[in-house]
């Protein structure tokens, strides 16, 4: 059972900020009643230990997650997504310690797939990465508050990110499966299309891929090649698993020209490369010399399979790519599940 | 004044205070590891510090080690370090 304090209702935000318990925005006061309501959408015991969260190694329990989810403004039915996101981040392959503590600006990007994304109204269309949808905003914010209050990632303390990034406030989207010509991300990663998942990547904010004129795949691919094969991102130096989030219009053009997600991955592996002479001029040259392959051009991914491809957004000729921290953080996908491990088909099953 | 009872959002930990290992009284004859985090200038800093100590008469066996700054040290590196009397770590960033 978590400890509590009594505060003047008019000073809750100031007190939480002063104690280092908030992200700087006003919070919903985590009263016992609100936290209990959140936990009604969780079939785990409130004090079940799910692990510890680095770098502070706070003990993760459904109750401490629910407190932070209340503060973020989550509706109780969002809680299974928050829980799955935390479970995914705690997988060793995600290397949360480094994602939290690095000077790089990465933040866990939460990508939700499956029917629960639609049930909760997680925005996958216009402005999915931006404001406007409570589910995206508050699930993403809950993850950040948990990283702060459980993981201890306060800026300049245990989060050493040189500049941070806006996505450290909230970074949650759904894939636009309805307007995608390709299999959904979770299906590609081995899950049933009728099940729901959360995928986390240690990502930078979205970098725009604007191509207004191409009506063939080669034009769109040339645009992304130009944007992605330059210095600056960690993937340019350290490989990793970046994501391309195609807008539905770009995706439709690529699919019409016969490109599958795997074809796009192979294109990126083969064509998005940095010449040795450029690589050696700056960046991290000399620090990890073994990472440059024998040939004269270095890819940004070690193999084609490492690229994540999703469809996100509404109409318009924009896509984006999300560079990541590098190869020492791997994308992790978790089923949104009941305590017994079976798939949760609808959050209504918990109500 | 109206008060409200709120739950504290900070998780408990089991982290106990870990005292520093006993300090070496002398480096002479000791096996000292110099652990480079592979970022720019870490190795140079370590080499310079080692050289300064050597010129001051602290004769020690020098063990060079490195770990990628973006991940925990692999078991093999940790096992190597455990063979040493002390480790000097340079965290460059």
pLDDT 10s digits, A280-306: 899 998 887 778 877 889 999 999 999
Q: What is the pLDDT of residue B39?
A: 86
Task: Give me chain A's average pLDDT, please.
Answer: 97
Q: Do B8 and A67 touch (CB under 8 A)?
A: yes
Q: What is the pLDDT of residue A1?
A: 80
Chain B residues close to A8, C-beta within 8 Å: 1-4
Q: Do A61 and B9 touch (CB under 8 A)?
A: no
Mean pLDDT in residue range A211-227:
98
Tokens of A327: 């190869």
Name the DSSP class of A305: G
Domain assignment present for B24: no
How confident is residue B1, by pLDDT bands cut at 50, 70 and 90?
confident
Chains A & B: contacts with CB separation below 8 Å: 99
Residues A41 and A77 sit within 8 Å (Cβ to Cβ): yes
3-class DSSP assignment, residue A15: helix
Q: Do A30 and B7 touch (CB under 8 A)?
A: yes
Q: What is the pLDDT of residue B58?
A: 86
Q: What is the pLDDT of residue A340?
A: 97
Q: Do B70 and A328 touch (CB under 8 A)?
A: yes
Q: Do B13 and A52 touch (CB under 8 A)?
A: yes
Domain assignment present for B4: no
Identify which of B6, B12, B93 has the shortest CB distance to residue A5: B6
CA-CA distance, A298 to A327, in Å (whole number)? Answer: 14
Domain assignment present for B13: no
Mean pLDDT in residue range A244-257:
98
B2 touches chain A (CB under 8 A): yes
A290 touches chain B (CB under 8 A): no
Q: In chain A, which residue ranges form alpha helices assigned H by DSSP? A: 12-18, 32-39, 62-72, 79-90, 96-101, 115-120, 134-149, 185-188, 217-228, 234-238, 248-256, 261-271, 276-279
**Domain enclosing residue B75, as ranges:** 31-90
Please state the domain count of chain B: 1
Mean pLDDT in residue range A45-70:
98
Identify which of A9, A60, A68 has the shortest CB distance to residue B3: A9
Residues A155 and A165 sit within 8 Å (Cβ to Cβ): no
**In angstroms, how far is the first alpha carbon of chain A from the final one?**
22
Domain assignment present for B17: no
Q: What is the pLDDT of residue B68?
A: 85
Q: Do B11 and A60 touch (CB under 8 A)?
A: yes
Q: Do B71 and A98 touch (CB under 8 A)?
A: yes
Domain assignment present for B37: yes
Mean pLDDT in residue range A320-336:
97
Q: Residues near B31 by Cβ (< 8 Å), separated by ≥ 6?
A: B60, B61, B63, B83, B84, B85
Residues 49-88 in A contacting B (C-alpha not used; CB under 8 Å): 52-53, 56-61, 63-64, 67-68, 71
Residues 62-91 in B contacting A (C-alpha not used; CB under 8 Å): 68, 70-72
CA-CA distance, A306 to A299, in Å (whole number)? Answer: 11
Q: Do B4 and A57 touch (CB under 8 A)?
A: no
How, if at all, do strands A243-246 and A308-311 pair? parallel
Q: What percentage of chain A carries pLDDT values higher than 70?
A: 100
Identify which of A4, A21, A98 has the shortest CB distance to residue B10: A21
Q: pLDDT digit string (tens) for B23-80?
A: 999 999 999 999 998 888 898 999 999 999 989 988 999 999 988 888 888 999 999 9
Q: pLDDT digit string (tens) for A152-193?
A: 999 999 999 999 999 999 999 999 999 999 999 999 999 999
Domain assignment present for B52: yes
B4 touches chain A (CB under 8 A): yes
Domain assignment present for B23: no
Q: pLDDT digit string (tens) for A185-208?
A: 999 999 999 999 999 999 999 999
Nearest Cα to A325, choosing from A244, A238, A265, A247?
A238
3-class DSSP assignment, residue A38: helix
pLDDT > 90? residue A130 = yes
Domain assignment present for B67: yes
CA-CA distance, A268 to A236, in Å (whole number)? Answer: 12
How confident is residue A115, by pLDDT bands cut at 50, 70 and 90?
very high
pLDDT > 90? residue A123 = yes
pLDDT > 80? residue B88 = yes
């Amino acid at each position: 059972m978590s400890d509590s304090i009594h505060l003047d209702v008019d000073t809750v935000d100031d007190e939480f900020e002063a104690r280092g318990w908030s992200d700087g925005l006003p919070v919903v006061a985590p009263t016992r009643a609100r936290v209990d309501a959140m936990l009604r959408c969780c079939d785990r015991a409130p004090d079940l230990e799910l692990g510890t969260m680095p770098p502070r190694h706070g003990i993760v329990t459904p109750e401490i997650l629910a407190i932070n989810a209340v503060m973020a403004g989550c509706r109780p039915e969002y809680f299974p997504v928050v829980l799955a996101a935390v479970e995914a981040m705690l997988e060793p392959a995600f290397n949360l310690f480094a994602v939290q503590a690095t000077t790089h600006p990465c933040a866990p990007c939460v990508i939700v797939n499956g029917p629960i994304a639609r049930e909760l109204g997680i925005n996958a269309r216009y402005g999915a990465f931006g404001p406007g949808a409570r589910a995206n905003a508050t699930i993403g914010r809950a993850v950040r508050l948990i990283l702060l209050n459980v993981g201890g990632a306060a800026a300049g303390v245990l989060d050493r990110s040189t500049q941070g990034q806006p996505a450290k406030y909230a970074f949650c989207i759904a894939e636009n499966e309805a307007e995608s010509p390709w299999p959904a991300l979770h299906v590609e990663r081995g899950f049933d299309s009728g099940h729901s998942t959360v995928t986390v990547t240690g990502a930078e904010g979205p970098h725009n891929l604007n191509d207004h004129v191409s009506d063939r795949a080669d034009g769109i691919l040339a645009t992304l090649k130009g944007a992605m094969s330059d210095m600056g991102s960690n993937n340019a130096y350290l490989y990793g698993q970046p994501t391309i989030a195609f807008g539905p219009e770009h995706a439709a053009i690529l699919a019409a020209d016969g490109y599958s997600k795997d074809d796009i991955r192979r294109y990126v592996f083969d064509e998005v490369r940095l010449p040795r002479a450029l690589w050696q001029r700056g960046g991290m040259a000399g620090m990890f010399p073994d990472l440059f392959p024998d040939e004269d051009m270095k890819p940004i991914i070690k193999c084609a399979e490492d690229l994540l491809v999703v469809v996100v957004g509404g109409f318009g000729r924009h896509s984006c790519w999300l560079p990541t921290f590098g190869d020492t953080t791997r994308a992790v996908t978790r089923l949104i599940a009941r305590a017994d491990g079976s798939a949760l088909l609808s959050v209504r099953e918990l109500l | 004044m109206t008060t409200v009872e709120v739950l504290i959002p900070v998780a408990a930990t089991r982290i106990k205070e870990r005292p520093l290992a006993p300090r070496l009284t002398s480096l002479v004859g000791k096996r000292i590891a110099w652990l480079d985090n592979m970022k720019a200038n870490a190795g140079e800093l370590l080499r310079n510090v080692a050289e300064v100590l050597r010129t001051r008469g602290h004769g020690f066996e020098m063990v060079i080690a490195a770990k990628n700054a973006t991940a925990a040290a692999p078991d093999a590196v940790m096992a190597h370090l455990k063979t040493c009397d002390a480790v000097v770590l340079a965290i460059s960033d």
